[in-house]
Amino acid sequence: AAALAAVMVAADVEQEGEEAEAEAEEDASGSAMLGATLRLLTACAREPRGATIICEAGALPLLVKLLCTSDAGGDTHGNAAMCIGECAKDGRCLAVLAVQPLVPPLLDMAHSRTGQQQKNAAIALGRLAKNERCLQAIRDNHGIEILARSMKKMQM
């Protein structure tokens, strides 16, 4: 009976290991798909009509949600920030973004990240600052100081 129980436990552990591997592969593939999607959205947002379509499709709140998701990878945050920055060039998109809780996560990225993620967050914040509500949120969260330090670190 003990041997049978040991075999059953071993089989169960092996099955859990295989399930964990499959889940990890699925997560990696989902992450790659998300990254590719964000890069495509950003490329579309560079065109004025593309930013309008992204806004009309309701994608801006989803991009903000990605910024606030801690389990999303750094590249995901950086790409979401870049897409938000591109969309913020459009007045209508900027108005939609102004009511979203995106200033604190962008300031966190500008403060604690490095390289392209930091740069994308700083650019997005700069473009969001054209809206009075966003500018006030940046000021209220000591964003001017954070951006000044970030720009100094990036040697801009």
Whole-number Å distance between alpha carbons of 112 and 4: 53
Task: Name the pTM for this structure.
Answer: 0.75
DSSP assignments along 111-151, one per residue: HH--HHHHHHHHHHHHHHTTSHHHHHHHHHTTHHHHHHHHH
Residue 139 is predicted with a pLDDT of 93
Instruction: Summarize the confidence of residues 73-98 as an average pLDDT.
Output: 91
Whole-number Å distance between alpha carbons of 58 and 93: 10
- Range of 7-11, 29-33, 72-76, 83-87 with top mean pLDDT: 83-87
- Range of 6-10, 43-47, 68-72, 128-132 with top mean pLDDT: 128-132
Per-residue tokens: 124: 């997005």
- Residue pair 88/124 in contact (Cβ under 8 Å)? The answer is yes
Average model confidence (pLDDT) across the chain = 80
Whether the pLDDT of residue 14 is over 70: the answer is no
Whole-number Å distance between alpha carbons of 69 and 145: 25
Amino acid letter, 116? Q
pLDDT band at 84; cut points 50, 70, 90? very high
% of the chain with per-residue pLDDT over 70: 76
- Residue pair 146/107 in contact (Cβ under 8 Å)? The answer is yes
> Quick one: which of 64, 70, 96, 99 has its CA closest to 83?
64
Helices (H), the chain: 2-45, 48-56, 59-68, 74-87, 91-98, 103-112, 115-128, 132-140, 143-154
**Structure-model confidence comparison of residues 59 and 73, the more confident one:** 59
Whole-number Å distance between alpha carbons of 131 and 70: 26
What digits encode the pLDDT tens for the residues 88-122? 999 999 999 999 999 999 999 988 888 889 999 99
Matching CATH number, 47-154, of 1.10.3470, 1.25.40, 3.30.420, 2.60.40? 1.25.40
Residue 154 is predicted with a pLDDT of 66
Whether the pLDDT of residue 19 is over 80: the answer is no
